[in-house]
Chains A and B, each alone.
Chain A
Amino acid sequence: MSCVDEKIVEETRKILDGYKKEKDNLIPILNDIQVKFGYIPKKSQMEISKYLGIPMAEIFGVITFYSRFSLEPKGKYNISVCLGTACFVKGSQAIFDRLKERLKLEDGQTSADGKFSIDTTRCVGACGIAPVFTVNNEVYGHATVKKLDEVLDKLEKEG
């Protein structure tokens, strides 16, 4: 096991210690791990599998069912465009299309250099300033294609 893996196992065990060995804790545990690592490492899944006595396939099934969980680390900048109806009606699809085009990525992908990952989200509840997109949880309201371009330019420069 590499030292990265060891670290993951150790951190995972710490999280598991806070939970009883009951199957219904699976999703709260996965939520914690997702927050901790930004994704759900395979090693963590194995630890959970042993701890809760749930087969790996079932855990994998749960992870791939819920869009909040990801199997790969997200990019340094995770840009998500709200495609809730309120934002959609105000043109967020064009913003997302532009984002895909500029970064040459598809929904849910991370760029090869690990810098950007993009996805769509459902309503973030900022309908008052629709359309919105977020960069690592920072909300950009009243968004336009132009505004997106400016933000991307800035992020690309920042490295």
Chain B
Amino acid sequence: MKTIEELNKIRAEKRIELDLRKNTNADTREKHILVCNGTGCTSSKSPEILENFKRIIEEKGIQNVRVIKTGCFGLCAKGPIVIIRPEDTFYAMVKPEDCEEIIQSHIVEGKVVERLLCKDIDGKKVNRLDDLTFYKKQKRIALKNCGVINPEDIDEYIAFDGYRALARVLVEMSPDEVIDTIDKSGLRGRGGAGFPTGKKWKSTREAKGDKKFVVCNADEGDPGAFMDRSILEGDPHAVLEAMEIAGYSIGAEKGYIYVRAEYPIAVNRLQIAINQAREYGILGENIFGTGFNFDIEIRLGAGAFVCGEETALLESIEGKRGQPRVKPPYPAQSGLWGCPTLINNVETYANIAQIILKGPEWYSSIGTENSKGTKVFALGGNVNNVGLVEVPMGTTLREIVYDIGGGIPNGREFKAAQTGGPSGGCIPKEHLDTPIDYESLKAIGSMMGSGGLIVMDDTKCMVCLAKFYLQFTVSESCGKCTPCRIGTKRMLEILEKLCSGEGTEYDIYRLEKLAVNIQKSSICGLGQSAPNPVISTLKYFREEFRQHAIEKECKAMECKALARIEIDEEKCKACGLCQKNCPVNAIEGEGREKRHINQDKCIKCTTCIRSCPFHAIG
């Protein structure tokens, strides 16, 4: 059981020790090798890199060097990532066998390993993380500790002001003051809908009930989004601390974190964090001797997207099928087992402690008129710097895609960006300069969503994209209400018809009509927003739908029935590369002969198009 004094002592001591993590001029002889152990880098062998570093250091008997496992740095495309502090050298795409060289050259001889440095957009190699354009335009609040601390060590969290907000809240503030602070900060729910967080806390506090619960929604289901996972992997204590503050504010003593079982690393780190916090007496009974009790339990999701919907999530925690409830009553009035329940998303919680520490005025100074603070996006798709970015609200899409994201690879054209996943919509080229905030995105037919941001180049067919999202919705619909259960299936059938070249103009009309009906009549957010990808693609790319229906043509060549891949004899230099890469041996011709495609064999995988150095295939 720790007192606040003990907490302050740990902070003071640890802070000196860890100063070099954030201060490039730190007065120290130590070096810290930070190895990203987020899911992305872990899949490309970063745990092995971590082990190699440790082994080599031990073998060589090197002093004053520590190897630290951290959460995600953000630039996943360049993973696995290794950063050496305090000088802040950023090594990208490191392989386990590179460890020896990094130790020998960088640590022992003091020479930066040039070949492992990361190239910036302009093609120049960059030495320091902070110099990368990718990081320059970002502002890290929710991600402030990600990639800086070891998420499995509570002391490191405490060193960077961890649990200080909780201590302040418990000792100095009344629940109403806390809620007031959150309200003033202008923080809105980061799960997608953007409901003001302070209001939610207030109504849960005011709801009558002997028992209340705090729930953290970490069922990040949006395909292509991994913001919440990165926070849980990189800074789990931030979520725990915020849930405790929420518990104090609304009068709850129990919290649940509902997290996807597909996130084993996040689950593991959360569990470690909970155990450590319990050991320190920061979770449990009589926290800091203030008489406040709070404990947190993890509940695993079992693979159902709809459980990200708050009432479905509650059903799932109760051990039932994750079928949404009819609202109202809202969870704030009647949630878990009928008790008032506060549900916030991971990223929302990740902002709380800092709002308490730095004040609501500081937070509300960031962002736009109605959307305050920052937003984390998982940038993916056809963009150079795939990864995790946190930007102030109001940043334009162009800045994210071209400056932070480094533009579109292979010299292709930007076609659209998709936000909000299966519930959102796409943003075409003409809206690239829209500032990103809740209202602006809504105005152009998309939504903030949880933060998935997928960039598409001109090889992407928008009808196919709509079909992809409908496929997703159909397979994830819970089946409770008819519009979603059957309506989305019918929409998918129409889209399939269009993609296979059997569609008519009437089908487009039917599609639109059905979309509106489903929007209006579904029970929950999943169903109500399921037609959004169709509605928004129709809004901006109606011409493409018409091409599919009338001219029977898919210009992006994604719809196989409508695509015909051919080799332009004029351009073909008979190099044979396409032949080598074709997985089904559909390309015929030998030696100096011009190649041609056997259409019966071709599966239209487009591998040949991508492999042709002369752009002769299309």
Give chain A's interface residues, CB within 8 Å of chain B: 23-28, 30-31, 58, 61-62, 65-69, 83-91, 93-94, 97-98, 121-130, 132, 139, 141, 144-146, 149
Contacts and interface: CB of A to CB of B under 8 A. Distances in A.
B300 interface: yes
Given A122-B305, A125-B263, A130-B386, A25 B319 contact: yes
User: Of A69, A87, A122, A130, which is in contact with the most chain B CB atoms at under 10 Å from its CB?
Assistant: A122
Top-3 shortest CB links A-B: A128-B76, A86-B380, A85-B224
B354 to A, nearest CB: 25
B452 interface: yes
A133 to B, nearest CB: 11
B269 interface: no
Contact of B261 (A31, A126, A127): A31
Contacts of B263: 125
User: Of B224, B378, B460, which is in contact with the most chain A CB atoms at under 10 Å from its CB?
Assistant: B224
Given A90-B381, A128-B77, A145-B583, A68 B603 contact: no
Interface in B36-56: 38-41, 43-44
Contact of B319 (A23, A88, A89, A141): A23
A26 B319 contact: yes
Contacts of A30: 302
A153 B156 CA distance: 47
Contact of B40 (A66, A93, A125): A125
A18 to B, nearest CB: 14
A39 B386 CA distance: 35
Given A94-B605, A126-B76, 4 more contacts: A31-B300, A91-B605, A94-B603, A129-B77
Contact of B302 (A31, A121, A141): A31
Interface string B72-101: 000011110000000000000000000000
A61 B321 contact: yes
Interface string B372-385: 00000010111000
Contacts of A91: 605-606
Given A62-B321, A125-B40, A89 B304 contact: no
Nearest to B386: A128
Contacts of A125: 38-40, 226, 229, 263
Contacts of A132: 43
A129 B421 CA distance: 19
A122 B223 CA distance: 6
Contacts of A27: 299-300, 302, 316, 319
A83 B469 CA distance: 10
Nearest to A126: B43
Contacts of B38: 125
B304 A65 contact: yes
Contact of A84 (B79, B224, B303, B583): B224
Nearest to A63: B302
A149 B607 CA distance: 14
B319 A127 contact: no
A62 B223 contact: no
A94 to B, nearest CB: 5
Given A30-B302, A68-B303, A86 B224 contact: yes
Interface in B447-486: 452, 454-456, 460, 468, 472, 478
A127 B380 contact: yes
Contact of B452 (A65, A66, A85, A126): A85
B262 interface: yes
A113 B377 CA distance: 43
B508 to A, nearest CB: 23
Contact of B583 (A25, A86, A124, A146): A146
Interface in B224-273: 224-226, 229, 261-263
